[in-house]
Amino acid sequence: MNELFDVEKSMDQVLQFQNKMLKGLKNLTELPKGNMDMDITPKEVVYSQDKMKLYHYKSQVRKTKLCKVPLLITYALVNRQYMMDIQPDRSTIKAFLEEGLDVYLIDWGYPTASDKYLTMDDYINGYMHDCVEFIKEQNKISQINLLGVCQGGTFSTIYTALYPENIKNLVTMVTPIDFSNNDSLLFAWSKNMNIDKMVDAYGVIPGELMNLSYAMLKPFSLNIDKYIGLVEKMDDKKFLENFLRMEIWINDSPDQVGETIRQFVNDLYKENKLVKGELVIGDRKVDLKNIKAPLLNVYAEYDHLVPPSSSKALNDLVGSTDKETISFGVGHIGMYVSSKSKKEITPKITSWILEHSK
Amino acid sequence: MEEKNNIFTQGMNMQKSMMDMWTKTYDNLMSVSKNYVATGDEAPVNVFKDSADAYVNFMNSWGEQFKQYQLPQVSTYFNFKDQQDLLQKLFTSQSVYQDLFTFWKELAEKAPYDTPEKIQELTDQWKDKYVDITKTFFIPMLPENLKAVAEHSTDLIQEYSNFNSGIFQPWIENAEELKDILSRVAKGEKEAISEFFKSINDSYDQSFGKIFNIPGLGLNREAFEQQMQSYDSYVKYIISFNELYSLVYKVSVETMEKLVKQYQNMYNEGKIPKTFKEFYEIWWKTNENAFIDLFSTAEFSKLFGKFSEKFCDFKIKSDKLLEMQLKALPLPSKTDMDGLYKTVYDQKKEIRALKKAVNDLKAQIAAGTTQK
């Protein structure tokens, strides 16, 4: 019709956009109430302390096929652990269980003002250590497998360095270890952040502030294009359900305990003490060379929160001789919810754990 | 069930009314373009203008109708807060999308704009609106309790840009440097905005900042001092916010100029986006890259750190002031509670250590290794 613009196509796109939006709004009203089938793999609370709970997932294989060394998963303090069980057909936890792993998981809960004085010492030497001791006692064993995710991976690495006798195998996923670079905006910003002032002002740092920082990392794609893209697909009920699950999870950020985040930012982001061998937890110095257990270090190639260089550094710092690094072409969250997660990532981790637990 | 029927009926009605509006618009549009073809008048830009005008009118009226009359009702049918939040974000994005369409329309309508004057004219005309688009996406994403503060603060950037009235007027008149920078701001020099806030900060420290920090006297000395310090920290917070926001403003305007030039180049090469969707893709990706570049700079990181520090200063001082004002009431303050939390925390730690000692002793007794 004219050389410059395809008016008809442009208008057709707009019409389709509006139609999809209306169908999507209808779909939105028909979504189920409650937790949207998230975090539904059967489990029970076997131990708790303050706001922390230790879950034990119900085994999904015969006892003879069950891995003899239980696996404890430690998630980050930011965001919630149900990311690993966010949708029934793409649940990392469920996949672990189906392959015969005996899974325990720590839920840190939602800290409030009364928790403001908890330190990294309390989390690692306190809660984590008590969970490990509980699992050992319940199973009458001397060692467990430990898998840490993101900040939970940093905690797990520190724990393994402090209690090497308790850990048979260590798996770290998208874990920040070397904080010296500025390859991620969070790393760069943290170095100029006066965390002492923030902790003094808030006591516990509101989760909303954390969310705001994450949303700024990709300002247009996370704040606009994501929702424009949603309209294109919201007539698909299943897609809409999964989208809403992610929205709920992304915005479900617990407040951050003041003294813990103070030490994490000052000692790690700013001073990089873990790598330098200067980090002190409680009254003990953390020496990564104490880690002798086999190590599987898993990172995401397109991680915008934890740069691959930060994760990769771990293998050269530990004392383990059996150590492996693997990467996948996914982002930080894609590690748990992408199609690769089910097809490649989870099977690889499971087979490594089973192989090393014989 | 009845509710679901209602929402379905409403949805269908909305869709019907939208379809009617659309059909009418589309028919008009097609007849306009057919006329152009029939008369041999190519006038593609005019066809586009008519199409775009029709679309904008259609979108505006439908969008307004939906937001004003239907949205509040529709929201009540959503099962829980997350769906309502999502709906809000959808409409925010939709609104940005609409504004962007108008921008695209202007851009296409006024092409070719191959002289610097024409480009300047277009960018001047769109500068404020474009920054508004950026503001639109920054602010609604803030936590509810921060929105008002941020909205208020971003509005101040406009105030600062004009800066012709109110309490600061005599101050400005006496500050030659500021006047000079201000005139550069008015001429559209983007770097001047950031310099402007730096000068404001310095001038403030040397003038009002001193007043707010003068020692208090008499019985209400402490209250007076805390109040003054609280004002002082608020002003410093606002200045640091605007200093930070001036970087965002600068990048917004620069990116818009870049897009305009990019569009002109595409026009010259006969490669302009054929649909709005194509333009939208170019728009958000160009902006995303520009903002990530900005966020990656040491300057942004430093100002972001400074802004959060000033905000925390303000929060600490205003909390303290509030506690002082509430002292007479029979309520525990945050400081009282903190003291309590600390005591409980210390005692828990002690109990834990004692428990461990008891268990170790028990184990030693059981193993017969206790030393007498």
Asked whether the predicted pLDDT for residue B5 surpasses 70, the reply is no
Report how far apart, in Å, the C-alpha atoms of A169 and of each of A69, A146, A314, B25 are.
9, 6, 15, 67
Q: Give the pLDDT mean for B136-160.
A: 48
- Spot the catalytic one: A77, A83, A105, A150: A150
| Per-residue model confidence (pLDDT) at position A351 | 96
Q: Does B172 lie at the interface with A, CB-CB under 8 angstroms? A: no
What is the identity of the amino acid at A155?
A: F
Say if the Cβ atoms of A22 and B146 lie within 8 Å: no
Asked whether the predicted pLDDT for residue B250 surpasses 50, the reply is yes
CB A72 within 8 A of CB A144: yes
CB A339 within 8 A of CB A87: no
Alpha-carbon distance A107 to A101, whole Å? 19
Catalogue all structural domains in chain A, each as residue range(s) with its CATH number. 43-356 (3.40.50.1820)
Say if the Cβ atoms of B74 and A191 lie within 8 Å: no
Domain residue limits, chain B: 1-77, 108-331, 339-372
Helices and strands in chain A: count of H runs, count of E runs: 18, 12
| Per-residue model confidence (pLDDT) at position B218 | 65
Phi-psi region of A39 (alpha: psi -120 to 50; beta: other; left: phi over 0): left
Edge-first strand order for the sheet with A144-149 is A43-49, A52-57, A103-107, A71-74, A144-149, A167-173, A295-300, A323-328
Alpha-carbon distance A112 to A206, whole Å? 10
CB B122 within 8 A of CB B110: yes
Query: Which of chain B's residues have a Cβ under 8 Å away from the Cβ of A15?
Result: 22
Mean pLDDT lowest among A90-104, B255-269, B334-348? B255-269
DSSP state of A271: T
Of B47, B83, B334, the CB nearest to A31: B83
Residue B83 exposed, middle or buried by CB count within 10 Å (0-12, 13-18, 19+): buried
What is the identity of the amino acid at A214?
A: Y
> B6 is written with which tokens?
């209602």
Asked whether the predicted pLDDT for residue A1 surpasses 60, the reply is no
Half-sphere exposure of B130 (CA within 13 A, CB side): 26
* Higher-scoring residue by pLDDT: A161, B274: A161
Report how far apart, in Å, the C-alpha atoms of B308 and of each of A9, A190, A217, B229, B311 are.
47, 11, 16, 18, 5
Asked whether the predicted pLDDT for residue A346 surpasses 70, the reply is yes
Asked whether the predicted pLDDT for residue A289 surpasses 90, the reply is yes
Residue A150 is among the residues annotated as catalytic for this protein: yes
Query: Pairing relation of β-strands A103-107 and A71-74?
Result: parallel
pLDDT per position as a tens digit, A118-171: 999 999 999 999 999 999 999 999 999 999 999 999 999 999 999 999 999 999
Cis ω on the peptide bond leading into residue A206 (within 30° of 0)? no
Mean pLDDT lowest among A78-92, B49-63, B356-370? B49-63
Q: Does B80 lie at the interface with A, CB-CB under 8 angstroms? A: yes
pLDDT per position as a tens digit, B193-216: 666 666 666 666 655 555 556 666
The residues in A 315-354 lying below 8 A from B, measured between CB atoms, are none
Say if the Cβ atoms of A22 and B11 lie within 8 Å: yes
In the numeric block, the tokens 């897609």 are attached to: A239
> B116 is written with which tokens?
């610097």
| Per-residue model confidence (pLDDT) at position A223 | 82
Alpha-carbon distance B32 to B370, whole Å? 101
> What are the helix (H) ranges across chain B?
2-39, 44-65, 71-76, 81-110, 116-138, 144-162, 169-173, 176-186, 190-206, 208-212, 221-268, 276-295, 298-325, 334-367
Mean pLDDT lowest among A60-64, A123-127, B68-72? B68-72
**ipTM of the shown complex:** 0.87
Asked whether the predicted pLDDT for residue B287 surpasses 70, the reply is yes
Residue B41 exposed, middle or buried by CB count within 10 Å (0-12, 13-18, 19+): exposed
Query: Pairing relation of β-strands A167-173 and A295-300?
Result: parallel
Q: Give the pLDDT mean for B259-275.
A: 82
**What share of chain B has pLDDT > 70, as a percent?**
40
| Per-residue model confidence (pLDDT) at position A2 | 41
Query: Which of chain A's residues have a Cβ under 8 Å away from the Cβ of B80?
Result: 33
- Averaged confidence pLDDT in chain A: 92
Say if the Cβ atoms of B108 and A4 lie within 8 Å: yes
Alpha-carbon distance B246 to B248, whole Å? 5
Q: Give the pLDDT mean for A283-290.
A: 97
Q: Give the pLDDT mean for A179-201.
A: 94
For residue A299, what are the β-bridge partners?
A327
| Per-residue model confidence (pLDDT) at position A239 | 87
Output the furthest CA–CA distance in chain B (Å, rounded): 114
> A42 is written with which tokens?
């059967």
| Per-residue model confidence (pLDDT) at position B142 | 46
Query: Which of A33, A221, A227 has the highest number of chain B CBs within 10 A, making it the mutation to test binding with B?
Result: A227
- Averaged confidence pLDDT in chain B: 68
Of B8, B295, B312, the CB nearest to A198: B312
